[in-house]
């Protein structure tokens, strides 16, 4: 439970005054907006609401629906989000994604990019699912009885072969990777992150961005935080301690030493060119943009990240498969991916008491690990994520955004608190 996190994204300003005016308008023939200067204060409005609207459970709760709060919830078990949806208390989004105009960087065989090798994620989604516009007009029926006229031809296999710039996290150098899928995740709240070097990225608050201290979702970052971006060639320096042995020093600039001329020549004798390395840049602002269409890339192994608008962002996994695969590969704490109740005394729905022992909990953790390994085997064998996820324990941890009216929030807390 120490991992759970709830952050307020947005809320109604002066909520008690809003409820008061709605309540007052129900019982007066005066246009209450014209009495704005005589409205009671926020505190006094709250007292009136409790006394006249809530006391005695009179049941007239319509005015409560005018106030809204939007919460960002992190690291909760999937069942919490399911309960929110089951009781129809708001609108929740369980995705991490990017705005449609975010530019994805493609590279050639030498790892070099150009304007011709850049596409927005929205354009890629359109090409992936609808094909590219053919230059010629079809004069007769196609081989599969396609009607004459202008048409679009499938280009998914060509996009799969294109090289997307990706970061090798083990040595902090850029390489390339391939796209496995492009997903539309609906209309979601989007924020614009502006960096000190002028780069801008629009994404949801749950999208992971690489920092010098590891992966962080946007909700965990603020002005002054550093994120890793497209870098410059590392021409005349080398790591003091090998990052393969000390991965925690991969982004530490104090772990670099300047090479002398003979050492520099010897060190890069076999290199065709200097590697491009990521470097940290500070965030100068984070602004809420609004609700926009959002998309995700699903990347192939082993580098589950890509460069979007010059910033290193995480491969977006549907159904949190990234966390599950990391556990299967021994790269994380199993309780970062799955939620199990603490050891202690509990009771069932009939009131029968029982004790959840450390031994039982450890057995359940072992079962979660085996399920994660089985999930990875299925994906490696070509099974779809939708099919393989049936083996994933139900209470995997998930980030989501949920919006409540005040009335809906009270209803939810009354049922589940």
- In terms of phi and psi (left: phi > 0; alpha: psi -120 to 50; beta: otherwise), the region of 367 is alpha
pLDDT of 92 reads 46
Query: Per the structure block, which two tokens stand in for 192?
Result: 């614009």
pTM greater than 0.75: no
Whether 21 and 79 map to the same domain: the answer is yes
Whether 175 and 296 map to the same domain: the answer is yes
- Return the sign of the alpha-carbon dihedral for residues 357, 358, 359, 365: positive
pLDDT of 233 reads 47
Whether 255 and 349 map to the same domain: the answer is no
Longest pairwise C-alpha distance within the chain = 90
pLDDT of 402 reads 78
Q: Among 112, 95, 310, which residue's Cα sits nearest to residue 200?
A: 310
8 Å CB contact between 152 and 133: yes
Distance CA 171, CA 369 (A): 28
Whether 36 and 127 map to the same domain: the answer is no
Averaged in consecutive runs of 10 residues, what is the pLDDT profile of the chain (417 residues)? 81 90 86 89 89 71 85 79 62 64 88 82 91 80 77 87 91 89 84 93 89 88 92 51 55 60 56 71 92 87 87 71 81 86 90 94 93 88 77 80 81 74
Q: Among 188, 218, 213, 246, which residue's Cα sits nearest to residue 70?
A: 188
Number of domains present in the structure of the chain: 4
Whether 75 and 102 map to the same domain: the answer is no
Tell me the DSSP string of 32-60.
Answer: GGGGGGGPPPHHHHHHHHIIIIITT----
Cis omega (within 30 of 0) for bond into 378: no
pLDDT of 52 reads 79
8 Å CB contact between 32 and 22: no
Whether 287 and 201 map to the same domain: the answer is yes
Whether 198 and 104 map to the same domain: the answer is yes
Whether 181 and 293 map to the same domain: the answer is yes
pLDDT of 319 reads 45
Q: Which domain holds residue 189?
A: 98-226+283-315
Distance CA 306, CA 18 (A): 45
Whether 79 and 134 map to the same domain: the answer is no
Query: Per the structure block, which two tokens stand in for 119?
Result: 């596409």
């Amino acid at each position: 439970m120490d991992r759970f996190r709830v952050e307020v994204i947005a809320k109604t300003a002066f909520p008690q005054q809003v409820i008061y005016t709605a309540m007052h308008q129900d019982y007066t023939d005066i246009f209450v907006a014209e009495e704005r200067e005589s409205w009671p204060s926020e505190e006094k409005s709250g007292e009136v609401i409790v006394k006249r609207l809530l006391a005695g459970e009179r049941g007239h709760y319509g005015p409560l629906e005018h106030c809204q709060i939007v919460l960002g919830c992190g690291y909760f078990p999937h069942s919490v989000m399911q309960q929110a949806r089951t009781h129809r208390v708001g609108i929740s989004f369980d995705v991490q994604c990017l705005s449609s105009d975010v530019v994805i960087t493609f590279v050639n065989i030498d790892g070099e990019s150009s304007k011709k090798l850049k596409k927005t994620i929205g354009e890629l989604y359109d090409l992936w699912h609808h094909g590219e516009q053919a230059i010629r007009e079809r004069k007769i029926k196609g081989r599969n009885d396609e009607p004459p006229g202008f048409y679009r031809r499938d280009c998914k296999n060509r996009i799969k072969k294109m090289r997307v710039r990706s970061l090798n996290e083990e040595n902090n150098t850029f390489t390339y990777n391939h796209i496995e899928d492009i997903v539309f995740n609906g209309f979601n709240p989007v924020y614009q992150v502006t960096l000190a070097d002028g780069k801008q990225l629009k994404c949801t608050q749950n999208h992971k961005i690489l920092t010098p201290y590891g992966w962080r979702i946007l909700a965990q970052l603020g002005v002054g935080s550093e994120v890793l971006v497209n870098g410059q060639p590392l021409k005349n320096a080398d790591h003091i301690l090998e990052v393969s042995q000390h991965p925690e020093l991969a982004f530490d600039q104090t772990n670099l030493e300047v090479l002398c001329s003979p050492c520099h020549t010897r060190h890069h004798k076999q290199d065709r060119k200097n590697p491009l390395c990521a470097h940290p840049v500070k965030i100068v602002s984070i602004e809420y943009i609004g609700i926009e269409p959002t998309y995700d890339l699903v990347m192939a192994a082993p580098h589950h990240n890509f460069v979007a608008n010059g910033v290193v962002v995480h491969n977006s996994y549907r159904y949190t498969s990234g966390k599950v695969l990391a556990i299967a590969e021994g790269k994380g704490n199993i309780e970062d991916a799955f939620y199990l109740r603490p050891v202690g005394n509990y009771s069932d729905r009939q009131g029968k008491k029982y004790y959840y022992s450390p031994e039982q909990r450890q057995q359940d953790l072992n079962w979660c690990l085996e399920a994660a390994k089985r999930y990875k085997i299925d994906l490696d064998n070509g099974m779809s994520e939708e099919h393989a996820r049936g083996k994933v324990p139900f209470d995997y941890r998930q980030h989501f955004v949920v919006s409540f009216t005040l009335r809906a929030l009270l209803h939810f807390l009354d049922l589940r608190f």
